[in-house]
Amino acid sequence: MVNQPATVSTPDDALELARDRTGLSEIGSDSWRPGLAILLEELNASTLIAPHGRDYLIENIVTALSNRLRVNDYVQHHPEVLEAKIERPLVTLGMPR
């Protein structure tokens, strides 16, 4: 796990870390912002979350935003993937390992 600065309090803070990590800047839609703002507000206000738990959650948030940046970049460079027909989705359930 990467140690994150204690100043991740807004979606822009988290996005900046993801941008630094990936070297990418364009994330596409901002539909994720309102939900992340609520999550970060609660995460930063809660007295029930231990510092290492907070760091773990911030790392997960930054990783998710990094992945979103990578997917958006891939689609920008390979727009043909948007035309591919998906016959059946693959859904995998189970405990992470």
- Tens digit of pLDDT for each residue in 1-50? 555 555 799 999 999 999 999 999 999 999 999 999 999 999 999 999 99
- C-alpha span between 47 and 43 (Å, rounded): 9
For residue 3, the model assigns a pLDDT of 55
Q: What is the pLDDT of residue 6?
A: 55
List, in order, residues 6 or more apart from 8 with CB less than 8 Å away. 14, 17, 40, 58, 61, 62
Q: What is the pTM of this model?
A: 0.81
For 1-97, where are the alpha helices, taking DSSP H only?
A: 11-22, 33-45, 51-77
**pLDDT for position 89:** 83
How many alpha carbons lie under 13 Å from residue 81 in its C-beta half-sphere?
Answer: 8
* pLDDT (0 to 100) of residue 90: 84
Q: Is the model's pLDDT at 91 over the cut of 90?
A: no
If pLDDT is split at 50, 70 and 90, which confidence band does 69 have?
very high
Contact 76, 26 (CB under 8 A): yes
